[in-house]
């Protein structure tokens, strides 16, 4: 038609093609007849009978016209159901492969017969829907590309529980096939934010076993309730992200419990404003959820923060109480006392005082509240749950008149009172809790004095309020590491490593780090040492420097530096420097020419090379080290024993993952994964390709997880999941066409 817009014609054509797959689709294999039939003993209304007759008509037509002799199970979910469900055992529910054009009469007949929605699903979770009124077709769950050849759990409908569960917004609908044969390996559960669904997948071949969908909200995360076969799926509610204050809720968050075998929603609870930290008891009987609320300069927009306590056995809310956010949750070992910690904060004319609250986990009853005497910012709980350690970092300065030392505040948990505040020196580097000995260790500087600008460092060790040891160590200590057998401690400073006996914390020796930059009291500048790795055999230490392509290897037995090595390909660094220099020259020339022509001062941006970040991995046998350089996009292979560079492999990546067995290492990039054989130190192929493409245009690698059995690994992209055999690094299956995958977890056995 002359007046029809191309866009309208295109949309109509797309809709027709998309709906065609709901009526005439791919080859259809056999399906149990009784899974598609309604209960014959249920009275059938005239409308329900008409819908059933229509389903039978389509069944006969498809059998006769396209696939004679096959079974096409079309059914209604009860005679008066509003869903018409067509199960197919093969194919993809959103990609029409049939060339037949959609018969427009079907939509009008569906509407006249009272169907409000046409749902097309296949046995492994693919799902799309047709609105008979608008004829719109849209996908509501991920279609499969690998199909499990036995009945699986498809969508199932459940009613919300009583009380607080009533009126829950989550629901799923479809006919219930037989209970699946569970795979021998732990199943993987995947959260798709875009379709608001959780998909269960078999990692041995990537077959989709089932799915459960939620009608509204924004799914944020999920966990498996410990010692149970239930998922807790968290919906943060409707809202929007703000640049300054983060998530601004417009509706309350909620939690849904899902049975992992039947994939049914068993209960639904409304929480508070937003979803923050989630904490479970060791026995899995209790769950604490931080609902952070919202902070705004406009009082009318401010929403209160609270902690909600849930009894997972009854799926009911046990209690709730307000908190100042942001907040950190801690739990005593007996699972009885929940501790909330709000840190101190100060910026210009705004500030937040610290706060500690104690609550009974079972009832949510407030047991006590404490305002620490110092501006504490971090917290650790003792192994026995008797003491809460709080650290005030102070205000460190290299000028003695401005320096303010930090303090360790010790709180009695049973008495809910502050016991002492202990000076721990300048610039304490955080609380390090040793679970084995129940000691708390703190690295600090001595306070600067006027005539000695460069202070020394020391290690303080506490148990309760008692100072177990105070040992001088390398100046400006940055890191604390332990030998694999736990007998030796290494305190790492900018250019020195102090070696301590872990039994009494006495100093044994010091090792100078070759290649380190000059000493600087002020942390955070220059090429500062930012990581120290000890090989599994305890014989080598490897120091990595920030904003640098260098690393230093130490002999921890002989206690000396062996070599300072360069990582990354020099040719790549040279070309990058040349490119940046040329861009700057051209920008300067262009600005100068414009200024001469117009008489107006011109400005241009001076480009620089991006900072170098190194990641390090060590082979399980301690023979080799691997340095990943993100500036030159390569991996430098190092002989850790000889302290020499063996090769440089071009690989773009962000982090390492050594596979079970220790023979292969995965290099995780923004949207791809590459592998190195740790026996030959050569890049491996995945199938016919050198790279496993997990993402694509606008799609990224979201997660890489190894199954508890160690035989399978799953790579999660934004829109696809790929499963691998960890011993051969061969792909065993994949699922595509997801919308926005967020997280993946393997079930606990």
Q: 194-217 pLDDT, tens per residue?
A: 899 999 999 989 999 999 999 878
d(CA 187, CA 203): 6
For residues 653-672, average pLDDT: 89
Q: Give residue 605's pLDDT band: very low, low, confident or very high (50, 70, 90).
A: low
Residue scoring higher pLDDT (337 or 103): 337
Confidence of residue 305 (pLDDT cuts 50, 70, 90): very high
Question: Which pLDDT score, from 0 to 100, does residue 216 have?
Answer: 78
Of residues 505, 503, 484, the one with CA closest to residue 557: 484
pLDDT grade for 79, boundaries at 50, 70 and 90: very low
Q: How many CB atoms lie within 10 A of CB 269?
A: 22
User: Which position has the higher pLDDT, 437 or 153?
Assistant: 437
The DSSP output letter for 709 is: T
Bigger pLDDT: 210 or 576? Answer: 210
More confident residue, 113 or 72: 113
For 590, phi then psi, to 5°, come to -65, -40
Secondary structure (3-state) at 299: helix
- For 373, which DSSP code? S
pLDDT tens digits along 684-737: 988 778 888 887 666 788 999 999 888 999 999 999 999 999 999 999 999 988
**Of the candidates 434, 632, 619, 650, the residue with the CA atom closest to the CA atom of residue 540:** 619
User: In sequence order, what DSSP letters do the residues of 535-581 get, joined into one string?
Assistant: -TTSSEEEEEETT-SEEEEEETTTTEEEEEEE-S-HHHHHHHHHHHH
Looking at mean pLDDT, say which of 11-15, 109-113, 493-497, 695-699 comes out highest. Answer: 493-497
3-state secondary structure of 698: coil
Q: Cα(108)–Cα(102) distance, rounded to whole angstroms?
A: 12
> What's the DSSP call for residue 685?
P
Angle at 148 between CA 146 and CA 153, to 5 degrees: 120
pLDDT at 348 over 70: yes
- The reported pLDDT for the residue numbered 706 is 93
Mean pLDDT computed over 642-663: 90
Question: What pLDDT score was predicted for residue 336?
Answer: 94
For residue 632, give every residue at least 6 positions away whose Cβ sits within 8 Å of its Cβ, in sequence order, or none. 549, 567, 568, 569, 572, 573, 576
CA distances from 265 to 165, 273, 329 (A): 11, 22, 27
pLDDT for 394 beyond 90: yes
Q: Give the CA radius of gyration of the chain.
A: 31
d(CA 10, CA 7): 5
Q: Which helix (H) or strand (E) holds 741?
A: strand 741-746
Confidence label for 530 from pLDDT (cuts 50, 70 and 90): confident
Q: Does residue 188 have a pLDDT over 90?
A: yes
Instruction: Give the containing element (helix H, strand E) for 263.
Output: none
More confident residue, 546 or 95: 546
Q: What is the pLDDT of residues 271-281, one digit of tens each?
A: 999 999 999 99
Q: Residue 441: what pLDDT?
A: 96
pLDDT averaged over every residue in the chain: 77
More confident residue, 628 or 595: 628
Distance CA 543, CA 515 (A): 10
The residue among 349 and 60 whose pLDDT is bigger is 349
pLDDT bracket for residue 166 (50, 70, 90): very low
Residue 305, token pair as written in the block: 């923060």
Q: What is the pLDDT of residue 86?
A: 45
Buried b (16+ CB within 10 A) or exposed e, 203-221: bbbbbbbbbbbbeebbbbb
Tens of pLDDT along 613-641?
668 899 999 999 998 888 788 899 999 99
Whether 261 shows a pLDDT value over 60: the answer reads yes
Residue 210 exposure: Cα atoms within 13 Å on the Cβ side: 29
What's the confidence (pLDDT) of residue 586? 66
518 pLDDT tier (thresholds 50, 70, 90): low
The answer to whether 286 and 362 have CB atoms below 8 angstroms apart is yes
Please, are residues 376 and 391 in contact by the beta-carbon 8 Å criterion?
Answer: yes
| Residues belonging to the chain | 749
Q: Domains of the chain, with CATH numbers?
A: 6-141 (no CATH), 653-749 (2.40.10.480)
Average pLDDT, stretch 499-508? 95
Contact 705/719 with Cβ under 8 angstroms? no
Q: Mean pLDDT over residues 67-71, rounded?
A: 37
Phi, psi values for residue 230, rounded to 5°: -130, 140
- DSSP E strands, 424-495: 432-434, 439-445, 457-463, 466-473, 479-482, 488-492
Q: Per mean pLDDT, which range of 221-235, 304-318, 677-691, 707-721 is the poorest?
A: 677-691
What's the average model confidence in pLDDT over 472-494? Answer: 92
E-strand stretches of 590-669: 614-618, 624-629, 634-639, 644-650, 655-658, 664-668
Q: Quick one: CA torsion of 492, 498, 499, 502, rounded to 10 degrees?
A: -80
In this structure, of 376-385, 405-414, 523-532, the range with the lowest mean pLDDT score is: 523-532
Q: What is the pLDDT of residue 130?
A: 55
CA nearest to 686, candidates 666, 661, 711, 709 = 666
Residue 356 has pLDDT above 50, yes or no: yes
For the CA atoms of 279, 282, 284, 285, the dihedral, rounded to the nearest 10 degrees, stands at -90
């Amino acid at each position: 038609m002359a007046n029809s817009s191309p866009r309208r014609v295109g949309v109509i054509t797309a809709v027709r093609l998309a709906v065609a797959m709901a009526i005439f689709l791919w080859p259809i294999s056999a399906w149990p007849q009784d899974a598609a039939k309604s209960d014959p003993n249920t009275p059938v209304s005239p409308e329900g009978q008409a819908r059933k007759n229509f389903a039978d008509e389509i069944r006969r037509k498809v059998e006769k016209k396209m696939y004679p002799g096959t079974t096409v199970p079309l059914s209604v979910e009860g005679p008066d159901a509003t869903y018409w469900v067509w199960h197919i055992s093969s194919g993809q529910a959103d990609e029409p492969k049939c060339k037949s054009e959609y018969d427009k009469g079907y939509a009008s007949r569906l509407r006249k017969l009272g169907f409000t929605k046409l749902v097309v699903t296949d046995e492994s979770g693919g799902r799309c829907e047709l609105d008979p009124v608008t004829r719109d077709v849209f996908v509501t769950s991920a279609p499969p590309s690998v199909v499990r050849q036995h009945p699986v759990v498809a969508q199932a409908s459940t009613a919300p529980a009583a009380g607080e569960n009533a009126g829950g917004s989550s629901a799923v609908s479809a006919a219930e096939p037989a209970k699946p044969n569970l795979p021998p390996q732990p199943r993987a559960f995947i959260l798709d934010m875009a379709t608001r669904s959780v998909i269960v997948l078999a990692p041995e071949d990537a077959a989709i076993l089932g799915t459960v969908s939620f009608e509204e909200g924004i799914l944020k995360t999920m966990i498996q309730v410990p010692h149970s076969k239930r998922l807790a799926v968290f919906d943060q509610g409707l809202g929007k992200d703000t640049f300054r204050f983060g998530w601004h809720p417009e509706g309350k968050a909620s939690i849904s419990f899902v049975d992992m075998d039947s994939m049914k929603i068993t209960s639904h609870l409304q929480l508070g404003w937003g979803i923050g930290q989630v904490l479970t008891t060791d026995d899995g009987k209790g769950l604490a959820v931080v609902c952070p609320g919202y902070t705004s300069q406009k009082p009318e927009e401010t929403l209160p923060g609270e902690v909600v306590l849930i009894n997972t056995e009854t799926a009911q809310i046990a209690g709730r109480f307000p908190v100042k956010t942001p907040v950190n949750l801690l739990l005593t070992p007996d699972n009885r006392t929940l501790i909330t910690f709000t840190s101190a904060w100060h910026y210009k004319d705004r500030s937040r005082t610290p706060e500690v609250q104690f609550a009974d986990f079972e009832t949510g009853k407030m047991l006590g509240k404490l305002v620490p005497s110092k501006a504490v910012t971090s917290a650790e709980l003792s192994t026995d749950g008797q003491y809460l350690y709080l650290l005030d970092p102070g205000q460190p300065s290299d000028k003695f008149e401005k320096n303010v030392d930090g303090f360790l505040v010790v709180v009695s948990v049973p008495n809910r009172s502050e016991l002492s505040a202990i000076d721990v020196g300048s610039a304490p580097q955080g609380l390090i809790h040793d679970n084995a000995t129940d000691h708390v260790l703190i690295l600090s500087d001595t306070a600067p004095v006027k005539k000695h600008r460069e202070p020394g460092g020391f290690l303080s060790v506490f148990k309760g309020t008692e100072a177990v040891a105070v040992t001088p160590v390398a100046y400006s200590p940055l890191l604390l590491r332990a030998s694999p057998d736990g007998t030796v401690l290494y305190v790492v400073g900018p250019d020195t490593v102090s070696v301590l006996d872990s039994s009494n914390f006495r100093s044994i020796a010091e090792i100078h780090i070759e290649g380190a930059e000059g000493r600087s009291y002020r942390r955070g500048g220059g090429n500062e040492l930012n990581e120290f790795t000890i090989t599994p055999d305890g014989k080598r230490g490897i120091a990595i420097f920030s904003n640098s392509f260098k690393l230093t290897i130490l002999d921890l037995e002989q206690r000396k530096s062996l070599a300072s090595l360069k990582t990354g390909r020099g040719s790549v660094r040279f070309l990058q420097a040349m490119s940046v220099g040329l861009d700057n020259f051209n920008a300067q020339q262009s600005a100068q020419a414009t200024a001469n022509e117009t008489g107006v001062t011109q400005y241009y941006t001076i480009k620089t090379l991006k900072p170098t970040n190194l990641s390090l991995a060590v082979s399980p046998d301690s023979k080799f080290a691997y340095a990943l350089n993100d500036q030159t996009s390569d991996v430098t292979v190092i002989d850790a024993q000889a302290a020499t560079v063996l090769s440089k492999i071009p690989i773009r990546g962000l982090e390492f993952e050594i596979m079970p067995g220790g023979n292969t290492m995965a290099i995780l990039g923004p949207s791809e994964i590459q592998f190195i054989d740790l026996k030959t130190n050569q890049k491996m192929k995945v199938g016919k390709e050198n790279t496993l493409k997990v993402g694509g245009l606008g799609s990224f690698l979201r997660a890489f997880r190894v199954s508890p059995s160690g035989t399978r690994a799953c790579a999660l992209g934004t829109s696809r999941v790929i499963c691998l055999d960890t011993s051969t690094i061969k792909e065993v299956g994949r699922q595509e066409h997801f919308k926005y995958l967020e997280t993946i977890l393997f079930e606990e056995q």
